[in-house]
Chains A and B, each alone.
Chain A
């Protein structure tokens, strides 16, 4: 056979997915939405308080049904500046992501650090949650954490 030009075709696949938060996840988000409260769950074995709330302590492998309200203030454990834009980012670049450990929690979680000059970001600095006025039951019901 004489060589032929390779045949190449393109297409875009589109798929729709749903993700359920589950009872534990739902309650955490509902407390953000309805009460501006940040809640964690506490392991009955090791006593660790997980924020955001989880259903299972993965170390002790035990279900957690004890709920604990934690402060909406805490310390910045780490941070990074984001410059490259991605469609999934909640805000425009450049912005700062931080790992925040709230007072009363034993775990940190990621969120945006706002109202701050990047030069002033410091590990160990205290930050406080700023809630949106219109909340829907999402981690983004907190707009960002700002320096205290």
Chain B
């Protein structure tokens, strides 16, 4: 506890460990399975407003209708697109217990994937550390992990790379 001091304020420290298990859900399982097994990114489409929803959801939250699991409601997107925003990380999160950096230092990239509409935006990371290389409009391409290394997670795509002219 504390060293003796004129006005001593006692305290206790505690580390809590909680194991969690999460289900991806119906459509996200489909989304991640396609990423893992086929190297493809899929979205679904609202039958009422036509929005292309990424990641795919079981309802359109705006129209409040179910997006049924029918072939016509699924859309295969390209793994190429254009940058809408790039956010450089100057100050990285540090784990309070281990003292290690969390995640990777790569800038966060927002990509409008080809085949989608204005709401079809994927959040991922950029290949290079310099955020200014990815201004809005820059063309980028996903770089995938080899199939045998893919696990059904977003990191199955390593990062997005600038398409050079």
Contact of A12 among B1, B11, B18 (CB under 8 A): B18
Task: Count A-B contacts at CB 8 Å.
Answer: 92
- Distance between Cα atoms of A20 and B28 in the complex (Å): 43
In this complex, how many residues of chain B approach chain A with their Cβ under 8 Å: the count is 34
B21 within 8 A of A: yes
**Minimum distance in angstroms from B152 CB to a CB of chain A:** 5
Contact B10 A18 (CB under 8 A): no
Contact of B29 among A4, A12, A14, A30 (CB under 8 A): A4
Contact A20 B11 (CB under 8 A): yes
For A10, A14, A19, A30, the residue with the greatest tally of chain B CB atoms inside 10 Å of its CB is A14
A15 in contact with B11 given A1-B30, A6-B23 (CB within 8 Å): no
The contact string, 1 if C-beta is below 8 Å from chain A, for chain B 25-41, is 11011101100000000
Q: What are the residues of chain B within 8 A of A12 when measuring CB–CB?
A: 17-20
In this complex, how many residues of chain A approach chain B with their Cβ under 8 Å: the count is 28
- Name A's B-contacting residues (CB within 8 A): 1, 4-23, 25-26, 29-30, 136-138
* Known pairs A14-B16, A20-B11 / 12 extra A-B pairs, C-beta < 8 Å: A6-B23, A7-B24, A8-B22, A8-B23, A9-B153, A11-B20, A13-B17, A16-B96, A18-B11, A19-B12, A19-B13, A25-B10
